[in-house]
Amino acid sequence: MNQPATILRTGRKFDQVLEGARDVFMADGFEGASVDDIARAAGVSKATLYSYFPDKRLLFMEVARHECDRQAGATVDMIETCCSPQQVLQVAARHILSVLLSDFGQKMFRICVAEAERFPDLGRQFYESGPMVVRARIREYLEQATERGELRIDDFDLAADQLAELCKADLFPRLMFNIDTDFTEADRNRVTKGAVETFLARYGV
């Protein structure tokens, strides 16, 4: 499968192919997902599959991009000037944690780590299509809040990354190491509340 310059995103079976590919990638990983299995899950022929995605890596990244867009669209706008930094950052923290703990988030993380040596672009492209988009939105808010005098930040990129890392405390490693697989609302609130309070202790006015 040679990498093409573009992806054909038109046609009535495009979404069908994406849905089938998502199921197979999440179940079997990138390397374990065969074109035959993807075509079968999507209910299309291999010829139809290849007409959309001649390269399996492009198909994988389109699945990741599509899912990241869907999850981002399901959240409220974090850039709200009428809300306090604590309220806005709590929304951001909840979104970050929900993605980290989601079935999609954990499986994508495992896939990208597992394929990092053979296909280093997979992790980079996934990071650019998902986490970097959220990071950019948080950075934009932090800049605006600093301009309004609500926060005191010099390095906005570092601050945005620190918020995301604070949201990984406790629950994310427990999930990755299969220590626990289900978390209560109280568990999630404990982490996000602690993340925001720690962040504001450093950057609040």
Cβ atoms of 161 and 135 within 8 Å: the answer is yes
CATH superfamily entry for domain 14-64: Homeodomain-like (1.10.10.60)
User: What pLDDT shows up at residue 181?
Assistant: 87
The predicted-structure confidence for 19-33, as pLDDT tens digits, reads as follows 999 999 988 988 899
Would you say 59 and 96 are in contact if contact means Cβ atoms under 8 Å apart? no
Domain with CATH 1.10.10.60 in the chain: 14-64
At 129, the pLDDT band (50, 70, 90 cuts) reads: confident
User: Model confidence over 141-184: pLDDT tens digits?
Assistant: 999 999 999 999 999 999 999 999 999 999 999 998 989 989 99
Q: How confident is the model at residue 4 (pLDDT cuts 50, 70, 90)?
A: very low
Q: To the nearest 10°, the Cα dihedral for 80, 83, 89, 93?
A: -80
Q: How many residues does the chain have?
A: 205
Per-residue pLDDT at 133: 82
pTM for this structure?
0.78
44-85 confidence digits (pLDDT tens): 999 999 888 888 888 988 888 787 776 665 454 555 556 899
Domain 75-203 maps to which CATH number in 3.40.710.10, 1.10.357.10, 1.20.950.20, 3.40.190.10?
1.10.357.10
Q: Which of 42, 29, 204 is nearest to 114 (CA)?
A: 29
Average pLDDT value for the chain: 86
Give the residue range(s) of CATH 1.10.357.10 domains in the chain. Answer: 75-203
* Residue 2 DSSP label: P
How many CB atoms within 10 Å of residue 158? 11
